[in-house]
A and B are shown apart, each in its own frame.
Chain A
Amino acid sequence: MAVIYDDETNARRKDWISTHLDDYISSGGAHGHIMDLRHNGGPRFVPMLLARYKGRKSGKTMITALGYTVHKGELVIAASKGGADVHPAWYLNIVAGGPIEIQVATQAFNATWRELEGEEYEAAWQVLEANNPIYTRYRTSTDRAIPLLAFTPLDDIPVFTASEA
């Protein structure tokens, strides 16, 4: 895993990710939406959503917290995995099909998704990099093109609960 972080930072990051996910879900989205990532060298104001999807092999329901950027009415997510050379599991699971739901703070929706390509990809990627310089480091740390998925929310649904994770 050629992530851009050293071992110690990566351990702290994994710890943070796990605590953040638990708190986001257990608070019903009251906590965890806007994160201050300055302790990891990130920006002060980073919005994060929850994505709920099915494991492509297990069929199990899974929830992952991901940074997002609103662009042209869609929520754009980068499958960056910290700059690793392989795609994150959540990306492989989503593109395998199955229902997708997202939660932004205290509001959850079922959603459609599509993968951005060509000029649309370039335009959205520029916005992501401008919003958060960490994406520049992720991009330059791997040879793979980091996929961008765009979600469109449909209907309101109840917020996620831990038992579904």
Chain B
Amino acid sequence: MPTIYDEATMARLYEWAANHRADYIASGGVRGHIMDQTFLGGHRYEPMLLLRYQGRKSGRTMVTALGYAIYNGEVIIAGSKGGDETNPAWYHNILAGGPLAFQVATQAFEAEWRELDGEEYEDAWRYMENANPIFTGYRQATTRKIPLIALKALGEIPVFTDPDA
């Protein structure tokens, strides 16, 4: 698992992440949109979304909380997994197809996605690093190319509920 933080920071991040996802879903998006990343060396204000997709083996509905940026009018998420050497499970799952949706605060949308490539990737990655210093650390921590996915909002849908409830 991720390596760029010390143990105390990692423990804090895990604890934060577990509470954050549950609270984002349970509150219907009233809480959880804005993350204070100063304890990770990041900004006071970074926005987070919920991504809903299907497990490629289990077929189960899953929800993951992820940071996002808006660049060229698209919602961009990064498969950084804290700088880990492997791609996150959500990335494999959305590549496998299946219905995709995302929620920003109290608004949820069906979504299309595409993976950024070539010059578009380079340009967007430069933007992501420039916009949020934690991405520089993630890039330096791994030899893999961290995937960038652009989400396109389609119709608005009801907010997510806990898929495991």
Q: How far is the CB of A116 from chain B (nearest CB, A)?
A: 14
Query: In the complex, which of the residues A45, A70, A72 contacts B47, with contact meaning CB atoms closer than 8 Å?
Result: A70
Q: In chain A, residues 42-73, which have Cβ atoms closer than 8 Å to a Cβ of chain B?
A: 43-45, 47, 69-73
Contact B34 A104 (CB under 8 A): yes
In the complex, the chain B residue whose C-beta lies closest to that of A27 is B106
Interface assignment of B132: CB less than 8 Å from any CB of chain A: yes
Provide the residues of chain A in CB contact with B70, threshold 8 Å: 45, 47, 69-70, 131
Q: How far is the CB of A136 from chain B (nearest CB, A)?
A: 12
Provide the residues of chain A in CB contact with B46, threshold 8 Å: 70, 73
Interface assignment of B140: CB less than 8 Å from any CB of chain A: no
Q: How far is the CB of B73 from chain A (nearest CB, A)?
A: 5
In the complex, the chain A residue whose C-beta lies closest to that of B38 is A73
Contact B71 A104 (CB under 8 A): no
In the complex, the chain B residue whose C-beta lies closest to that of A28 is B30
Classify chain A: how many residues form its interface, as a range: 20 to 34
Interface assignment of A105: CB less than 8 Å from any CB of chain B: yes
Query: In the complex, which of the residues A33, A132, A154 contacts B73, with contact meaning CB atoms closer than 8 Å?
Result: A132
Query: In the complex, which of the residues A29, A47, A72, A74 contacts B106, with contact meaning CB atoms closer than 8 Å?
Result: A29
Contact B105 A72 (CB under 8 A): no
The total number of A-B Cβ pairs within 8 Å is 85
In the complex with contacts A45-B153, A71-B131, A106-B33, A33-B105 CB distance below 8 A: yes
In the complex, the chain A residue whose C-beta lies closest to that of B43 is A73
Cα(A105)–Cα(B46), bound, Å: 14
Contact B44 A106 (CB under 8 A): no
Provide the residues of chain A in CB contact with B97, threshold 8 Å: none
Cα(A105)–Cα(B74), bound, Å: 19
Provide the residues of chain A in CB contact with B47, threshold 8 Å: 70, 104
Provide the residues of chain A in CB contact with B131, threshold 8 Å: 70-73
A69-B70, A73-B46 given; name 17 further pairs at CB < 8 Å. A28-B30, A30-B106, A31-B107, A33-B104, A34-B105, A34-B109, A45-B75, A45-B153, A72-B132, A73-B45, A104-B47, A105-B33, A105-B106, A130-B71, A153-B44, A153-B45, A154-B44
Chain B interface residues toward A at CB < 8 A = 28-31, 33-34, 42-47, 69-75, 104-107, 109, 127, 130-132, 152-153
Interface pairs (16), CB distance under 8 Å: A29-B105, A30-B30, A31-B106, A31-B107, A34-B105, A34-B109, A45-B74, A45-B153, A47-B104, A73-B44, A73-B45, A104-B33, A105-B106, A127-B71, A130-B72, A131-B71
